[in-house]
Amino acid sequence: MRDDVVVLVIAFGYLALLFVIAAWGDRRAEQGRSVIGSPTVYALSIAVYCTAWTFYGSVGRAAEAGPGFLLIYLGPTLAMLMAPLVIRKMVRIATTHRITSIADFISARYGKSAGLGALVALIALVGTTPYIALQLKAITLSHAVLVDYVPESPMATAEASFWTDRSFWVALVLAVFIILFGTRHLDASERHEGMVAAIAFESLVKLAAFLAVGIFTVFVLYQGPGDLFRQVAASPALTDALSLESVPGGALGWVGMLVLAFLAFLGLPRQFQVLVVENVDERHIQRAAWLFPLYLLVINLFVIPIAMAGLLGGSGEDPDSFVLTLPMAAGVDGLPVLVFIGGLSAATGMMIVETIALSTMVSNQLVMPLLLRSRHLHRGHSGSLANRVLGIRRVAILGILLLGYSYHALIGDAYSLVTIGLVSFAAVAQFTPALLIGLYWRGANRLGAGLGMSAGILVWAWTLLIPGFAQSGWLNADLLTQGPIGIDWLRPYALFGLEDWDIYTHSLFWSLAANIGLLIGVSLFSRASPLEQTQAALFTEALHPRLDQTSLWRGHTLRGELRALLDRYLGTAATQRVFADHAPDDADDQSASTALVARAEQALAGALGNASARVLIDSVVRGEALDLDAILRILDTTSETLEMNRRLEQKSRELARIGQELREANDRLRELDRLKDEFVAMVSHELRTPLTSIRAFAEILRDNRDLTEQRREHFLDVVVRESQRLSRLIEEILDLARLESGRLTLEPHRLDLAALTRQALDAMHHPLEERGIALEIACEVDTAEVIGDPDRLEQVIINLIDNAGKFADAGMPRISLRLTRHRRGFRLAVADNGPGIDESERERVFEKFHQLPHPDAGTTRSRPRGSGLGLPISRGIVAHLGGRLWIENDCDLGGACLVMELPEAPAISPTPPDMLLSQ
Amino acid sequence: MARVLVVDDEPNIVLSLEFLMEQAGFEVTTAEDGEAALRLIAESAPDLVLLDISLPGIGGFEVLERLRGDPAHRHLPIIMLTAHGREVEREKGLALGADDYITKPFSTRALVDQVRALLDGDT
């Protein structure tokens, strides 16, 4: 037995700590040094998902139904993985439209419908009050266990009266906390920084407490996980209870539970509050998308081990209390208190956020629209109504918590923790069709959403809520077995004969079928008002880049009227802030700009919700909001502009590419032009040289009749030789021109390259001898059949020998000639004993008019100069015959080596060989 | 007797110039590349140079440039005698300080006259 006073002091001390943290968070926010401007705090605040239900109930559920409890966490994991898509869009919309709650969001999406907002608020209230009750029940239960626990004895949980029930006082303290930190601003779309800081802190506390129990159980009570699992394996009853087969409803149950958790995570008012309303930076979603699932994984790590250990203990305690009873049974001091605080933090965190979200809905979606309808409020001259709105919210907070307490005190005991949680989940899941479909399908309209949601919640009530009452004995249990007044197919757990599903999957299936079916069906066959269409467009296109800059009003009003309206509902300071951004110097009798009207509506929406804001603005503005056509035009023009920009960009890229190509082509042309000029200059230079000699000697002969006979003959001989040289040069230039233009006429025949080489050698015999060049010949094949023009090919061979002679050593010139077979062709290599040719020079040898520098110029005059066209022409001819011509070093004689390679003629074929060469 | 240096790498052209200059009454030396030309000028200080441009090794323009950069030969009469007929090359030759720029093929009489004129003006 633990001292109740100590526990009370610790519990309320913990709550006091929350006040300090929240106050600190708010102070920091006022100083502009926000503590919640971090993605980690954002992710931790999302962990408000893990309530007392997680803290105590997961173990309970694991003990009863095996690993099925994990699905409750896989659903949100799935949702968070999609967060960068879905939640980012919701956050963007909430920021633009100053959304205050999920009810406001759905109301705003469907034409700022007050009715739809009220419906969502009501469902949320009905659906989640039991959930708040659940938290209170957990606090009471855990407190009772902590204080009154006597091992091996049944526990009394019910308290005699509320003033001795600790959870009643916890609820009251929380009411104070929420009123202090949750209603600081009238603008509910503003962040509650202190509250979020406290929630993030609570998430850490409950995680730490749960891990502490887990580690204690596995490593202190047992010798590690191996030991624990061995002991479980020894008991077949336990193994069955913890196996996958024990999940209710089998595979279908798994899917149902996963979908339920997924939808509830998006539809729960408190999750919407932390995910969307309290989000300060869209980029935080990125980190939360993996950090929050990680949190879920860690906090669930020890659920099964604790459940196993609890079941092994076998003392028959409520599995929901294993977390507490395990350490207490072991007689450890301190740890149970830590666990109690962990559970308390899980419970209070949920209650704080849920209550804020619900109170905002109650004031903005339920009370304000009613008050606005009664005209006397509107005409009142009591100055600012801001305090009245805040007052409504504060009363609502108190009311919600008391409602939760009453539920807990009156009927809470009839349900297990898990049942209450899942029934709540199934209720809020009814929001998600309107929410998600409305986010992506512009056609979804108010009537469809309203009817769908109503039908969904009715089915929910019939299949989950009412049977619950029946099971508690409040209604005749015959309803479950025989159906209402004996109508068999209306049995709540087997609607339309759908039997053997677990009750949650069954309920979810039918309620969602009704909900989605009506939403889509009715939307398809009914007309939406212009405002609905406008809002639908704004929501579905929320991520459209330019939309938020567009002014959506085109009505007229005076600044004075607008100022008076805002003054009354927001207070003077807030009104000043709105007007400060829009021509603050303009007089009150001037008309308000559309931007100012839009801004005023946003400010009102932040405080009172979108539906009420629209009613108020409508009361002073003559004219109407931009209709759907205008919105669509804006969207179309922007998307047209975007498309146009994209096309322009593409075009300009194309143009740039074409420009680049043109530049390159131009450069190539210039280069060709330059080469042509150079070629012409070189040709003219080469032609002038023999011409110079011819003219000079002709003039000398003309002017000197008295020359000796010997000289005369010498000079005439020069004229003749230079004329021949000139003719040769002209022939070569023409050959080259023909080669380059592809008009060279070759007469290809099958011929023997060996014989042709011998023939060329005969022709060169004399000139080589004259120049003192020694020649070696190595013919490794008897015949070498190739296809070629014999005259041209002989010209090439002579040219090769001639050039080798030029490259050869000046003193002792030697060249060698070798004809070999190489693969499917023949090689004629003409080597010399000269100095060889540098790698860099080798290709230049084949350039037109290229003259090799004579290393020994000036010492020998006998060396004949060529035109510099022989090798380029030879290469052209060889290429025409399908062969190659190149120069290399490292040949037999150590100098350069000209190599010609020609393909072997095809084996005797009936086709004339020239066919092979026709171009 | 005035001495003329003929610089050209084409044997037949050298032969014709040698004949023409000797016949005109000058003493003739010949070089077939730029290096030999510079050496001969330094050794024997000719009175006039007939200089080709396309020469093995040191080219005609460089020979001209070096001579003009040397105070001893700044005023040495030099006639560029070349097959490079483009206007840019002619301008370059004159800019570098050639006394005349004659394109091959040339008129033998005009050449001899021009050599004479330059040598007379010089003495």
Q: For residue range A890-906, list pLDDT tens digits in order.
A: 667 778 888 899 888 88
φ and ψ at residue A154, rounded to 5 degrees: -65, 155
Cβ <8 Å between B10 and A854:
no
Q: Mark residue A156 as left, alpha or beta (left: phi above 0; alpha: psi -120 to 50; beta: remaining).
A: beta
Cβ–Cβ under 8 Å, residues A457 and A123:
yes
Residues of B86-101 as b/e, b for ≥16 C-beta within 10 angstroms? eeebbebbeebbbbbb
Residues A312, A316, A321: CA angle, nearest 5 degrees: 90
**Three-state DSSP class for residue B25:** coil
Cβ <8 Å between B105 and A700:
no
pLDDT band at A151 (very low <50, low <70, confident <90, very high): very low
- Higher-confidence position of A584 and A126: A126
Locate the DSSP E strands across A192-261: none
Pairing status of strand B78-82 against strand B48-51: parallel
What residues of chain B lie within 8 A of the CB of A676, using their CB? none
| Interfacial B residues in 31-70 facing A (CB < 8 Å) | 31-33, 35-36, 54, 56-57
What residues of chain B lie within 8 A of the CB of A688, using their CB? 83, 85, 103-105
% of chain B beyond a pLDDT of 70: 98
Residue A858 pLDDT exceeds 50: no
Min mean pLDDT across A853-862, A880-889, B51-60 is at A853-862
CA distance A7 to A280: 37
Question: What average pLDDT does the segment A431-457 reach?
Answer: 91
* ipTM exceeding cut-off 0.90 for this assembly: yes
Please measure the distance between the N-terminal and C-terminal CA atoms of chain B and give it in whole angstroms.
12
Helix (H) or strand (E) holding A354: helix A335-361
User: Among residues B80, B67, B57, which one has the least CA distance to residue A857?
Assistant: B57
Q: What is the DSSP letter of A788?
A: E
What residues of chain B lie within 8 A of the CB of A697, using their CB? 12, 16
Residue A807 pLDDT exceeds 90: no
| Interfacial B residues in 83-122 facing A (CB < 8 Å) | 83-86, 103-109
* B45 token code pair: 């200080």
> CA of A851: which chain B residue's CA is closest?
B56
When the pLDDT of each residue in chain A is averaged and rounded to a whole number, the result is 80
pLDDT in tens, A457-512: 999 888 888 877 777 666 676 776 777 776 777 777 777 777 777 788 888 888 99
Closest residue to B106, CB basis, from A692, A718, A854? A692
CA distance A288 to A294: 9
- Higher-confidence position of A75 and A836: A75
Cβ <8 Å between B105 and A688:
yes
pLDDT band at B99 (very low <50, low <70, confident <90, very high): very high
Helix (H) or strand (E) holding A390: helix A386-410
The whole-number pLDDT of residue A860 equals: 39
Residue A432 pLDDT exceeds 60: yes
Question: What average pLDDT does the segment A410-421 reach?
Answer: 65
Q: Is B9 on the interface with A (CB under 8 A)?
A: yes
Cβ <8 Å between A691 and B33:
no
The whole-number pLDDT of residue A918 equals: 46
Q: B105 preceded by cis ω (within 30°)?
A: yes
Cβ <8 Å between B16 and A696:
yes
Q: Is A680 on the interface with B (CB under 8 A)?
A: no
* A280 token code pair: 């300060």
**Three-state DSSP class for residue A112:** coil
Cβ–Cβ under 8 Å, residues A46 and A91:
no
Question: What average pLDDT does the segment A593-620 reach?
Answer: 77
Distance from CA of B105 to the nearest CA of A (A): 4
pLDDT in tens, A171-198: 888 788 888 777 777 776 677 888 888 8
* A828 token code pair: 């004629």
Instruction: Give chain A's length.
Output: 919
Place of tokens 């993605």: A39
- Higher-confidence position of A516 and A602: A516
Min mean pLDDT across A182-191, A809-818, A851-860, A884-893 is at A851-860
pLDDT band at B5 (very low <50, low <70, confident <90, very high): very high
Cβ–Cβ under 8 Å, residues A60 and A417:
yes
Cβ–Cβ under 8 Å, residues A66 and A312:
no
What residues of chain A lie within 8 A of the CB of B15, using their CB? 718
φ and ψ at residue A120, rounded to 5 degrees: -60, -45
Distance from CA of A739 to the nearest CA of B (A): 26
Closest residue to B105, CB basis, from A681, A696, A853? A696
pLDDT band at A857 (very low <50, low <70, confident <90, very high): very low
Cβ <8 Å between A857 and B56:
yes
CA distance B97 to B84: 17
The whole-number pLDDT of residue A376 equals: 53
What residues of chain A lie within 8 A of the CB of B9, using their CB? 857
Residue type, B68: R
pLDDT in tens, A87-119: 888 988 888 888 888 998 999 888 888 889 999
What separation in angstroms does the CA of A196 have from each of A24, A265, A803, A907?
11, 18, 92, 92
CA distance A538 to A254: 37
% of chain A beyond a pLDDT of 70: 85
* Burial of A761: CB neighbours in 10 Å, binned 0-12, 13-18, 19+: middle
Q: Is A696 on the interface with B (CB under 8 A)?
A: yes
For B48, how many CA atoms within 13 A lie in the half-sphere containing its CB?
26
* A844 token code pair: 């230049």
* Burial of A890: CB neighbours in 10 Å, binned 0-12, 13-18, 19+: exposed
